[in-house]
Chain A
Amino acid sequence: MKSHAAISALLLSASLELFAGGARAEASTPSSATLGATLGAALPVGSLEAGSRISDTTFATVPFRLDAGVKLDRRLLVFFSMDYAFGIPTLCVTADDCTSSLGTDVLVIVGVRRAFPRLGPVTPELGWGFGYEWFTSRLSDSGVESSRHYRGPALAALELLAHFRLGRALRLAPTLRAVVGEFSHATLSGPGGETSGRVDGLALHGWLSLGARLGYDL
């Protein structure tokens, strides 16, 4: 996991240099910040660990994301985002049980985004980052609950935004995001106790999400 973090940090600084190179040449406006909120839907791919696919327990998630970024110049921005997603369970029978069986996925990402020249009314922006993820799926049956918790590094997050300016500082953007991660620790709990430790065989997983972001430039 440490090696993943080190590699991600190196890649982040390299991309900062790469992205900044083009941006420095274009303009040098005063740094400012941006805030955003995104609501979307995400489909899982891959596995929690060997032999255990995310789709075994979770059909999809509905993520709500808050992000904050500091502009380094007119086109380059360093951002931090946090997703809180509700997981839609694959298994459950009654409406009450399905509501009680909602899972969660919390994802924090730090990264950089680079804006590209406007294409008509749209300002495209491409982002890249890495972070950490906490995933939980649960099943509640008549009030009795069992759950699986996983956590581990989000190795790479790639996102594409298409900003439409709604006003002087307000922007609306459809977003497409892909996240690839690898859980390192698992906790399995149910009536009578829990089992916790390193995952039983590392495996990659991912989230492919579509959303709409409302952004505000400070």
Chain B
Amino acid sequence: MNRVWGLGLCALASTFGCGAPEGDPVELPGTPPGIGFDDLRYSPELSRVLVPAGRTGNLALIDPKTLDVEVIGGFSTRGDFGGGHDDGPTSVEYAEGRLYVTDRTARELVTVDPKLLSRIDAVALAASPDYVRYVPGRRELWVSEPDGSQIEIFALDDAGLPKSIELIPIDNGPESLVIDPVRGRAYTHHWQGSTLAIDLATREIVGDWPNRCASSRGIALDEALGFLFVACSEGTTSVLDVDADGRVLSSVAKGSGFDVIGYEPKRRRLYLAGTSCDCLVTLGVSSGGALSFLGRVRAPGEAHCAAADDAGNAWVCDPDEGRVFRVRDSF
């Protein structure tokens, strides 16, 4: 009888989304209060999960095996946390032996030496930054700046220091950013309804593809297969074929409140964390681009960012508690 009651309570708890988040928590320095996370990355070159830790003024580097945390400080700080992700470092990219970090408060693009764990240089941004991404063949950094409705392009000099060289206007965007060096394109979203393809050389918009989203949010790319993954805030995830003018190959609706998504190309796993579902959804991707639901586990409340490492783990942010979770992909 107790077992029956237990099962009933568990079912009720899972229905209403209470219970402990799945995974191993990694506490970050400078908390509490919480942290307004946004971008969450894994660097295979450094074998570290890169966590721009917002108002703490730190960039945290986490060893995915030991969960040891190294911290690079010196970014803008703020003592309190009221939700959102508008303070301090919020996006990061590894390139050419350096880390490039956007500081939203200072409105700067900061160059960091990951070996010395120290800042090297900082340049001003034209508008508040969202994401920074590296364009390998061209030695450029592209920074999305939604408040300015533009992407700012920086060229790297011989010392690896960025210099602003151009702005690309993006009406009603840009939201999210991913670089496709194979096809010489960048992809970003309009806030609603479509995804843009931008030629890396000419800076021209060469595609405007309906993406099934009312509210476009997350983006990820399988370069080899030409699959562009689009996650909508309302919970729809779609695969667009970038070699077929953005044709939608597959769509599923699981969870909701997605923002930053993670993709692991070797296992073809897509990880989506949602604020509205308090969940981490794992999707599989077939070689033909069909999405399949693999599983769903409890994630921290307000979790809106996910990443994937190359050891079979998903990573999920926990803004309210100012920590991240390593979640073993058991599906």
Which residues in A have some Cβ–Cβ distance to B below 8 Å? 45-46, 50-53, 55-57, 90-91, 138-146, 148, 186, 188-193, 195, 200-201
Contacts and interface: CB of A to CB of B under 8 A. Distances in A.
Main SS at interface, chain A: strand
A191 B193 contact: yes
B209 A200 contact: no
A139 B252 contact: no
B293 A200 contact: yes
A46 B12 CA distance: 9
A146 B293 contact: no
Contacts of B235: 52, 56-57
Interface stretch (B55-63, B100-108, B131-139, B274-282): B274-282
B236 interface: yes
Nearest to B12: A45
A195 B229 CA distance: 16
Given A191-B212, A193-B212, A56 B277 contact: yes
Interface stretch (B25-33, B121-129, B142-150, B254-262): B254-262
Nearest to A206: B15
A148 B252 CA distance: 10
B194 interface: yes
Interface residues of B, number: 38
A195 B251 contact: yes
A44 to B, nearest CB: 8
Contacts of A52: 235, 253-255
17 contacts: A45-B12, A51-B296, A52-B254, A55-B277, A56-B274, A91-B215, A139-B214, A139-B215, A139-B234, A141-B191, A142-B191, A144-B214, A190-B210, A190-B236, A191-B211, A200-B252, A200-B292
Given A51-B281, A51-B295, A139-B233, A148 B253 contact: yes
Nearest to A137: B234
B248 A193 contact: yes
B293 A142 contact: no
B16 interface: yes
Nearest to A144: B192
Nearest to A143: B192
